[in-house]
Amino acid sequence: MKITLPLADGTLAPYTLRGPGNFTPAAPGTALNRIAYSAAHVVADARAAIDPWLQCAIDWDATIAYRRRLWSMGLGVAEAMDTAQRGMGLDWPTSLELIRRSLDAAKDHPGAFLASGCGTDHLSPESARGVDDVIRAYEEQMAAIEALGGRLIVMASRALARVATGPADYERVYDRVLSQARQPVILHWLGDMFDPALKGYWGSGDTARAMDTALGVIQAHAAKVDGIKISLLDKDQEIEMRRRLPPGVRMYTGDDFNYAELIAGDGARHSDALLGIFDAIAPAASAALAALTAGDTARFHAILAPTVPLSRHIFQAPTRFYKTGVVFMAWINGHQDHFVMVGGQQSTRSLPHFAEMFRLADAAGLIEKPDLALQRMRTLLALHGVAG
C-alpha cells in the first residue's frame, strides 16, 4: 500500500496508505437532526466529440448515480449549483435537464431532499441593461423549475451584481422574485472568493451593510424564505447573521472551512448545511450527522475534524477551482471512471495539489477502495511524467 508522491517543492517522497476510516454512513431512511444538502458535481461525458472549452456534455447515468449515493446516506442534493460548475461550463439548458432528471430520480427515494439552483446565467452580465432584465431572467428560470415541481435555491446573480447601483436594486429584485415563489426558497449569498463577479453583492463591499440589506429582504418575506446559505468563509459573520434571522428561517452554512463547529452550534442556535465539501466527504458527513442525531457530539467532531484540513486544501485560493478537487475525490474513489471535467476544469490544479489531497483524504479515512485509489493515483502521476 505504498506510493511515491510529489511534494510542494517538487521532490518525491514515499507514502503508505492507511485506508478507510472507522465510521459507517447513516443507513438509508435515517432521520437526521440537521438538514444537510450536498451541492453535487456533474460527471462529464469524456467520450463526447465536442470542444470541451465551448460545449457541455454530461454522463447522465453516472451523474444521477452519484445523487442516489448521496440520498442513500441521508444527505440532500442541492442541484445545479456552483459545485456542478454552474457558470463555469454548465449552461442553463443543461442545468434544467439536470434538474429534471434529478427530480425524476428523487421519486425513488422517499423523503429525499432536493432543491435546485435558480439564477440568471442565461443572461450574460454584459447583456443586462438594467434591473428589469435581471428580474425577467430570474422569472424565466423560476417558471421552468417550478413547472417541473422543483424547489428553488435563488442563486446570486452576476448580472445583478453588475447592474445594481445600490441596496434598493437588490431589494426590488428579491421582492419580485420572492413574492412570486410558489413555496419557500433558499437564498444564496456567495462570496467573491468563490466568484469574483459577485463582489459587492447586496449593494455594498462592506459585509455588515450587505448583511443588513439581506436581512431586510428576509424579514420582509419571511414566509417565503426557508433559509439562506452564506458562503463567506467567515464563521463569525455567519454566527452574527444566524443570530439575527427571523424565527423559522434557517441558516444553511456554506462555510467549507468551519462547517463542523457551525453545524454543531453554540447551544442556542445551529446551522444546517448546504456544502460543496459534503460531495467529497459524504460518508464522513453522513456518519458524523448520525452521531450528532444520536447525541454523541464527541463522535461527531471526531469524525469531521480530520476532514477539515482536506476541505481547506480543496477550497484554497483560487477558491473557485474547488470543483476540481471534488471531482478528483469521486474519481479516486471509483464513483466515475475518468478524471475529465466539463470545460476541461481538471487542469485548474497542480500535481502536487492532487498529491496532498490524496494524503489528506487518506488521513480523514476517505479513501474508500485503497487498491483502486493507488492504481488511479499512479495513472495520474504517469500522465505527469512521474513514476509512483
Q: How many CB atoms lie within 10 A of CB 239?
A: 19
What is the structure's pLDDT at 387?
84
CATH of domain 34-383: 3.20.20.70
Q: What is the pTM of this model?
A: 0.96
Residue 91 has pLDDT above 80, yes or no: yes
Mean pLDDT of the chain, nearest integer: 96
Task: Say what the pLDDT of residue 29 is.
Answer: 81
| Assigned C-alpha cell, 287 | 456518519
Strand pairing report for 12-16 and 2-6: antiparallel
Helix-, strand-, coil-residue percentages of the chain, each rounded to 5 = 50, 15, 40
Q: What is the 3-state secondary structure (H, E, C) of the chain?
A: CEEEEECCCCCEEEEECCCCCCCCCCCCCCCCCCCEEEECCCCECCCCCCCCCCCCCECHHHHHHHHHHHHHCCCEEEECCHHHCECCCECHHHHHHHHHHHHHHHCCCCCCCEEEEECCCCCCHHHCCCHHHHHHHHHHHHHHHHHCCCCEEECCCHHHHHHCCCHHHHHHHHHHHHHHCCCCEEEEEECCCCCHHHCCHHHCCCHHHHHHHHHHHHHHCHHHEEEEEEECCCHHHHHHHHHHCCCCCEEEECCCCCHHHHHHCCCCCCCEEEECHHHHCHHHHHHHHHHHHCCCHHHHHHHHCCHHHHHHHHCCCCHHHHHHHHHHHHHHCCCCCCCCCHHHHHHHCCHHHHHHHHHHHHHCCCCCCHHHHHHHHHHHHHHCCCCC
Secondary structure (DSSP) of 57-73: -B-HHHHHHHHHHHHHT
Query: Distance between alpha carbon 100 and the CA centroid of its chain, in Å?
Result: 19
Phi, psi of 3 (to 5 degrees): -150, 150
Angle at 106 between CA 178 and CA 35, to 5 degrees: 60
Domain boundaries, the chain: 34-383
Q: What is the pLDDT of residues 6-53, one digit of tens each?
A: 999 989 999 999 999 999 999 888 889 999 999 999 999 999 999 999
pLDDT in tens, 331-385: 999 999 999 999 999 999 999 999 999 999 999 999 999 999 999 999 999 999 9
pLDDT 10s digits, 280-337: 999 999 999 999 999 999 999 999 999 999 999 999 999 999 999 999 999 999 999 9
